């Protein structure tokens, strides 16, 4: 088979690495790929970006399967375009991708189908939104309605902070239109969990749970990032939590997908919050998470290509997804200054590691890989215990270098539920 993977991050490197292991696969084209996919087995980078370019390439090269990494491509309807040409592609159609593309739409969907979630209100006028803040208890959560590269959620501790956030989103327009409409949401105090799942529209099969660390600094302090590291399975996802998730979140979501007649064959990512008063859904993503993908796929025992084909053929109900009885940890090495402006073009050296290094923000320049993004790479390691996986991932990080590399030192640390 010839595969096409769309995207250039650490998630896409991990997907390319996983699908290349399938005996079904002859070559994996990565569009545009990165410095990691450039050297990965069976993989070849191609510098194309737009839907039209990707569609033309897939037809010309007779691509057997396309896998969409980033949410932006899904939200603009790349799946619809490929399907209209009779091409096999893995991901939800444009209408279904609204579950991530619009926070207000997804919250209304949750409410309509009885998915357990935090209380919220939606605003398009800043004066009305600020007026509502005067009735709120703090902290409060403010979300940009549209896509914001993982940075459109702010927890405001005071009225002044919240008012300033609203002005940045709605007036200064820091997200170029995505924050003109906002969701103001009840703050839930607890521990987050990520549950990546696969669906063919008839069933949803959850993968192994994982835990992402969003804040830039140790102790979950500082601004949100795209994710500074992750572990799997999530140590907080016990049987009780997973039962509530299945009964009150997953099942209701599947009913909604079916009743709305969504064209949804792809990944559905549940971001949940585990609190002392219960488990709630925070958000949907309509694609693999980053860096959650980097810890979930190395633990997956299935041939990922076969699993995707089962979804496309509507045969997930006949499929069992299994994972190794081990733990995984990944730690992100980021550019100094991220998530604020940061330097690029710095040489990356990777020594001998026991696990795997996935490149996120790195590109080939001449004969070397240089930094090109904020989150540059992740070291991934497996262990019989969570602590063993953590120790290995940090040990591997000592064999990786680029100038100014920054990383959190507490990935996977377990704390009491607040």
Q: What residue spans define the domains of the chain?
A: 2-91, 125-180, 191-318, 327-401
150: pLDDT strictly greater than 90: no
| pLDDT at position 317 over 90 | yes
CATH topology of domain 191-318: D-amino Acid Aminotransferase; Chain A, domain 1 (3.30.470)
Query: Would the pTM of this model clear 0.75, i.e. be above it?
Result: yes
Over its C-alpha atoms, the chain yields an Rg (Å, rounded) of: 20
Express the helix, strand and coil content of the chain in percent, nearest 5 each: 30, 30, 40
Q: How confident is the model at residue 418 (pLDDT cuts 50, 70, 90)?
A: low
Displacement of CA 393 from its chain's centroid (Å): 20
DSSP letter string, 88-133:
-EES--HHHHHHHH-HHHHHHHHHHTT--B--EEEESSHHHHHHHH
Proportion of the chain above pLDDT 90, given as a percent: 95
Are 2-91 and 327-401 the same fold in CATH?
no
Task: Tell me 37's DSSP state.
Answer: G
For the segment 67-101, what is each residue's pLDDT rounded down to a tens digit? 999 999 999 999 999 999 999 999 999 999 999 99
User: Does residue 357 contact residue 350 with C-beta atoms inside 8 Å?
Assistant: yes
Predicted confidence at residue 151, as pLDDT, reads 77
Q: Are 399 and 351 in contact (CB under 8 A)?
A: yes
Q: At 417, is the pLDDT very low, low, confident or very high (cuts 50, 70, 90)?
A: confident
Q: Does the pLDDT at position 159 exceed 80?
A: yes
Can you read off the two tokens belonging to residue 210?
A: 């994982």
Query: Is residue 224 scored above 90 in pLDDT?
Result: no
pLDDT given for residue 74 in this prediction: 98
Q: Could you list the beta-strand ranges (E) of 342-416.
A: 349-350, 356-359, 362-365, 368-371, 375-383, 400-401
Domain 125-180 adopts which CATH fold? Dna Ligase; domain 1 (3.30.1490)
**Would you say the C-alpha torsion 235, 239, 244, 249 has a positive or negative sign?**
positive
Q: Which CATH number fits domain 327-401: 3.30.70.250, 3.90.600.10, 3.90.79.10, 2.60.40.10?
A: 3.90.600.10
Per-residue model confidence (pLDDT) at position 415: 80
Q: Domain 2-91, what fold?
A: Rossmann fold (3.40.50)
Mean pLDDT of 400-404: 98
Average pLDDT over residues 248-254: 97
DSSP state for residue 406 in the 8-state scheme: B
């Amino acid at each position: 088979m010839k595969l096409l993977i769309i995207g250039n991050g650490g998630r896409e490197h991990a997907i390319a690495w996983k699908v290349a292991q399938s005996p079904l696969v002859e070559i994996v084209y990565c569009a545009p790929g990165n410095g990691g996919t450039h050297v990965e087995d069976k993989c070849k980078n191609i510098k194309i970006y737009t839907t039209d370019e990707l569609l033309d390439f897939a037809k010309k090269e007779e691509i057997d399967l396309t896998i969409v990494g980033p949410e932006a491509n899904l939200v603009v309807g790349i799946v619809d375009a490929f399907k209209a040409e009779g091409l096999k592609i893995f991901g939800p159609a444009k209408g279904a991708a609204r579950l991530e593309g619009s926070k207000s739409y997804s919250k209304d969907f949750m409410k309509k189908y009885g998915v357990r979630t935090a209380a919220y209100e939606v605003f398009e006028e800043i004066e009305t939104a600020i007026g509502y803040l005067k009735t709120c208890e703090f902290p409060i959560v403010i979300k940009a309605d549209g896509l914001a590269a993982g940075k459109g959620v702010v927890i405001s501790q005071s009225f002044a902070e919240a008012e300033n956030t609203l002005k940045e989103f709605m007036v200064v327009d820091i997200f170029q239109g995505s924050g003109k409409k906002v969701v103001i949401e009840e703050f839930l105090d607890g521990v987050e969990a990520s549950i990546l799942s696969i669906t063919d529209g008839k069933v949803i099969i959850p993968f192994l749970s994982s835990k992402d660390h969003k804040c830039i600094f140790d102790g979950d302090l500082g601004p949100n990032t795209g994710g500074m590291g992750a572990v799997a399975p999530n140590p907080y996802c016990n049987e009780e939590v997973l039962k509530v998730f299945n009964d009150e979140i997953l099942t209701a979501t599947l009913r909604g997908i079916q009743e709305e007649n969504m064209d949804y064959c792809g990944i559905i990512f549940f971001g949940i919050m585990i609190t002392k008063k219960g488990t709630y859904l925070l958000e949907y993503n309509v694609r693999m998470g980053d860096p959650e993908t980097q810890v979930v796929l190395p633990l997956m025992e299935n041939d990922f290509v076969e699993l995707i084909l089962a979804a496309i053929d509507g045969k997930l109900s006949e499929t069992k997804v299994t994972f190794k009885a081990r733990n995984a940890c990944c730690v992100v090495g980021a550019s100094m200054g991220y998530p604020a402006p940061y330097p690029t073009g710095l040489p990356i050296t990777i020594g001998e590691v026991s696990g795997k290094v996935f490149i996120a923000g790195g590109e080939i320049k001449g004969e070397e890989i240089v930094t090109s993004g904020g989150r540059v790479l992740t070291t991934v390691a497996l262990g019989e215990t969570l602590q063993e996986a953590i120790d290995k991932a940090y040990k591997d990080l000592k064999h990786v270098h680029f100038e100014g590399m920054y990383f959190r030192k507490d990935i996977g640390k377990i704390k009491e539920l607040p």
